Amino acid sequence: MKNFYPAIDKLVKQPIDFINFINDIPLGILILDLKQRVVVVNRTFEAQSGFLTVHARGMPCRNILRSAACIKGCPVKKITADTRSISCESNMINLDRQLLPIRMTTAPILDGKGKISGYIETIEDLRISKKEKSLGDTAFSFANIIGRSYQMEKIFQTLPVLAQSHVSILITGETGTGKDLVAEAVHQTSGRVSGPFVKINCGALPETLLESELFGHKKGAFTGAVESKPGRFKLAHNGTIFLTEIGDLPLSLQVKLLTFLDDNIIYPLGSTKGFKVNARMIAATHRDLEQMVRQGRFRKDLLFRLNVARVHLPPLREREGDVRLLLDYFLNTYKNRLGRKLNGFSGDVLDMLLNYSFEGNIRELKNIVEYAVNVSNGAQIETRDLPAYITDRSDFMSQGTEIFSKGHGPGTAIRDAALEKKPVPSHGNWAQAEKEMILNALVKAKGKKVQAAKILGWGRSTLWRKIKLHQLE
């Protein structure tokens, strides 16, 4: 016998605003019609996917959700009037082209006669529970950030404390050092993990579009504003908003951002009514904001408000021991992903990469390893598997070393600076000459290894490794 459940009728005296009702639910929600077209999505799903209701409405669900489940076996097509719900783990691709692990639950919406009149889908973000197991688990990691250098250990001690607070965080560091990863790790280990994590690049949009993207606009606020738009701050309610490249934010918008940091109220374009938003602010930049303040390109009061807690990520060349750790981590990641059997790096490759400066930092290292794993056809990663610009540069450096030892060519300026113009014996032993060169640089730098490395034109990790090699500790 079929079970019947009473319809909810006159539960409250006044009609309920359905959109506001589903917006307060911390799961992504899609309401679909009988043809699997989107009727409405809630704010959480807008933050997860990047699609606003105004863009999603009327679109096929598969074009908005963009999930593997849409291809392998659409849950909606399995729904009948007797089905309570169907749940599965899958993934989705958002507008930022990120692949997100999700749990999708689909259920029918029945009318008073028990017939299907639509469908509801809820989307749960599983990133926090799907952290990749890696070499960095245990003592060398925080969330998905890996490292064992002294600088990273200090950061690992700081991040859990900052994650449990509500203060604004400013993340600084060169491009490719992992600022985005740190911001997401702070969110995922904070009390706001069930809320949205909304990211926007302040340098990716022109000023006119950026203001609307950040703070939203009212219908008719400007030509082409045919619908009201909530803006990223409103989408980040009860979660975290991450402004990357904050140094590119125009001065006019810096004032509005300062207003939000002072009272947590945003004013959409074309509206005199403000909205209270409970969102934690994380900002990141590779620029020198203090210098920009002196140049009048960044507001000093905004810097003070953003700089409540600062996390500076050191460049990879200054992280002693982390290059090898990351090389092994990314090698395992990509060989497992591609099903390749590789036994590691050859000695020549390791020597080349451990002496490489990695100007693009972790991003560059990751790209190098991914390329090498894809093109390798041997048991190990060999020099022929590295990108051409790495091996070409290595050839140049080896030629420079030979010229350097003979006392002429482009290496002369470095040699003169390091040795205070004391010549290196042209026919002597290079290892002894290098040892003397290091000692002279350390004397000139008064024992400061960072300064000595600059004099020599090396990365600090290279200097430390050579100090150990020559037993100069």
CB within 8 Å of 93: residues ≥ 6 apart: 66, 67, 99, 100
Q: How big is the chain, counted in residues?
A: 473
Residue 418 is predicted with a pLDDT of 42
pLDDT in tens, the chain (473 residues): 344 445 556 666 777 777 878 887 878 899 999 989 999 998 888 888 888 888 888 999 888 888 888 887 788 888 876 767 788 888 888 887 778 888 889 988 888 788 888 999 999 888 755 554 444 444 466 767 888 888 888 898 889 889 988 899 999 999 999 999 999 999 988 888 888 899 999 888 887 788 888 888 888 777 777 788 888 898 898 899 999 999 999 998 998 899 888 888 888 888 888 888 899 999 999 999 999 999 999 999 999 999 889 999 999 988 888 999 999 989 998 998 888 888 889 988 998 898 888 989 999 999 999 999 999 988 899 999 998 888 775 444 444 444 333 443 333 333 444 444 344 443 345 667 778 888 888 888 878 888 888 888 777 777 877 787 777 76
Which pLDDT belongs to residue 83?
67
How far apart are the C-alpha atoms of 188 and 325, rounded to whole Å? 24
> CB under 8 Å to 373, separation ≥6 — which residues?
331, 334, 335, 338, 340, 342, 381
- Predicted structure pTM score: 0.61
CA distance 465 to 322: 13
Token pair, residue 214, equals 């950040």
Tokens read off for 205: 């949009």
Query: Is the Cβ–Cβ distance between 405 and 423 less than 8 Å?
Result: no
Superfamily of domain 164-314: P-loop containing nucleotide triphosphate hydrolases (3.40.50.300)
Closest CA to 64 of 88, 48, 80: 48
**What six digits make up the tokens of 263?**
């009272």
- The phi, psi pair for 10, rounded to 5°, reads 55, 45
Q: Residue 174's pLDDT is what? A: 93
- Produce one character per residue of 394-432: b if its CB has 16 or more CB atoms within 10 Å, e if not: beeeeeeeeebbeeeeebeebbebbbeeeebeeeeeeee
Amino acid at the residue 117: S
How confident is the model at residue 173, as a pLDDT? 93
Query: Which of 382, 383, 369 shows the shortest CA–CA distance to 335?
Result: 369
Instruction: Give the integer Cα–Cα distance in Å for 17 and 15.
Output: 7
Alpha carbons 410 and 420: distance in angstroms, whole number: 16
pLDDT value of residue 138:
43
**Residue 90 has which token pair?**
């899958």
Two tokens at 442?
């350390």
- Both tokens assigned to 208: 């006119």
For 434, other C-beta atoms within 10 Å of its C-beta total 18
Q: Which fold has domain 18-129?
A: Beta-Lactamase (3.30.450)
Q: What is the pLDDT of residue 415?
A: 40
| Residues whose CB is less than 8 angstroms from the CB of residue 174 and which lie 6 or more positions away in sequence, other chains included | 286, 313, 315, 361
What is the spatial distance between Cα 193 and Cα 239, in angstroms, rounded to a whole number? 7
pLDDT at residue 269 in the model: 84
Query: What confidence score (pLDDT) does residue 15 get?
Result: 73
Q: Which fold has domain 318-469?
A: Helicase, Ruva Protein; domain 3 (1.10.8)
Pairwise CA distance, residues 233 & 450, whole Å = 42
CA–CA gap between residue 23 and residue 3 (Å, rounded): 30
Residue 44 has a CB neighbour count (10 Å cut-off) of 27
Angstrom distance (rounded) from CA 229 to CA 114:
36
Q: Do 18-129 and 164-314 fold alike per CATH?
A: no
Phi, psi of 242 (to 5 degrees): -115, 115
* Dihedral, CA of residue 70, residue 72, residue 75 and residue 80, to nearest 10: 130
Q: What is the pLDDT of residue 129?
A: 59
Contact partners, residue 416, CB within 8 Å, separation at least 6: none
Residues 272-307 as b or e (16 or more Cβ within 10 Å = b): eeebebebbbbbbbbeebeebbeeeebbeebbebbe
- On the CB side of 160, CA atoms within 13 Å amount to 7
Could you tell me the residue ranges of all domains in the chain? 18-129, 164-314, 318-469
- Token output for 148: 């064992």
